[in-house]
Copies of this chain bind each other. A is one copy, B any other.
């Protein structure tokens, strides 16, 4: 120790740079290492300390993760929301993300709700629809509360056709609406007559055609198709070009066998063919299915949903029941379409982050170097995202492998403890909606889930531990 003050020092300083200022002032070399203590907050740090390496939580996570891995989401049909969702009220509208009241909704979601009221015939004009939406006569609820997911505004009203997926292993059923295509669409808050007419076409033509097609096809397991798409450049969230094409290859022979009227068949094929995101809603419902299998395992710290309503970002955790742990949704600094910028962007919106929760999307971005043209970054960023997410996940999903990482399986099963411990927030690829209703998509980008959701969940999970646990 006596030598310390005589010798020439080479110092590594961990944490605040100012710690080393006196050493620098004395003329010594200092290397600063960026580091922050986990959890940012003493109470959260104490809660985290209770949870880390806790044998009950480890056991619960193994169970939850195994249930996630063994899920087999299978497309079984298409049906109207009112017929297939349990206990959906007559005048109920489902939306994306955690619960939110009409008066708190962002403009694109309000626009989509307004459109749904017109679509259902509950109002004759936009003004009447808005009045009705604020009157208390409409029940609002998250899609997630009905086993469903929807991209962007995520609006599901009773007479909308839904994809129906069943997981025979865990006897779970999940749902999503049908993708409307690009341009002015309800999910981005558009609600003019063209949008409503198109939704009626989806209900009256596309839905029945798909029902007839699926009757010929029988059931279709979706994980193998998604796995194949990951080998074809999709991350199956913001890039679904391959998955949509593979789905078309499966549907067309069955559609021909269904002997649909030729004009209907042509119209349906043309519509599906023109939309490289057609598979997105199926991908989301499949991810919801895998995660519902993992949900409800007491003391598990595995995240089973991440979803945004355009105002708040919420997560659900397997061992924490149906509570949402929320924080304000971020504005995304992504790649904007010509003429738009961050100023035009609505905060993060939609249930589609269920894909990242399930280990695909940005977690599988190594499979999809081409997506950087859409969401930004470079192909090495894409690899780095998949590698980094392995630090906050419970394991890997061998159903989904990443060719560019020599077929390493995708990291999956977000652990709230690891997120809080490392400060690494789950990464999400996402579309960006205009902050005004009806304008539509203005860009896409890469964002992160807010850490505050995970800190809150860590605190809550620690409270569930029994004394002596």
Contacts and interface: CB of A to CB of B under 8 A. Distances in A.
Nearest to A241: B232
Contacts of A220: none
A331 interface: no
A242 interface: yes
Contacts of A249: 245, 248, 273
Contact of A378 (B242, B369, B406): B406
Interface string A261-286: 01001100110010000000000000
A270 B249 CA distance: 9
- Counting every copy of the chain, the complex holds 2
Contacts of A379: 403-407
Interface stretch (A195-203, A250-258, A297-305): A250-258
Interface of A: 228, 231-234, 241-242, 245-246, 248-249, 252-253, 256-257, 259, 262, 265-266, 269-270, 273, 369-370, 372-373, 378-380, 403-407
A266 B253 contact: yes
B256 A269 contact: yes
A161 to B, nearest CB: 22
Contacts of A405: 379
B245 A369 contact: no
Nearest to A234: B232
A215 to B, nearest CB: 16
A232 B407 CA distance: 16
B259 A273 contact: no
A357 B210 CA distance: 44
Given A369-B404, A379-B406, A404-B379, A269 B252 contact: yes
A402 to B, nearest CB: 9
The 10 A-B pairs at the shortest CB distance, nearest first, are namely A369-B403, A245-B245, A231-B370, A370-B403, A232-B233, A232-B232, A369-B404, A256-B266, A233-B233, A249-B273
Contact of A253 (B241, B273, B369, B406): B273
A225 to B, nearest CB: 12
B248 A257 contact: no
A369 B408 CA distance: 12
A462 to B, nearest CB: 42
Nearest to A270: B253
A379 B234 CA distance: 17
A406 B377 CA distance: 9
A267 to B, nearest CB: 10
Nearest to A231: B370
A262 B259 contact: yes
A269 B256 CA distance: 9
Given A242-B245, A245-B245, A370-B403, 14 more contacts: A232-B232, A232-B241, A245-B249, A248-B248, A249-B273, A253-B269, A253-B273, A256-B266, A256-B269, A369-B404, A378-B406, A379-B403, A379-B405, A380-B406
Interface centre among A231, A233, A248, A373 (most CB of B within 10 A): A233
A371 to B, nearest CB: 8
8 contacts: A232-B233, A242-B245, A245-B246, A245-B249, A256-B269, A257-B266, A373-B403, A379-B405
Nearest to A228: B241
A259 B241 CA distance: 27
A125 to B, nearest CB: 37
A256 B270 CA distance: 10
Contact of A232 (B242, B373, B380, B404): B242
A373 B407 contact: yes
A270 to B, nearest CB: 5
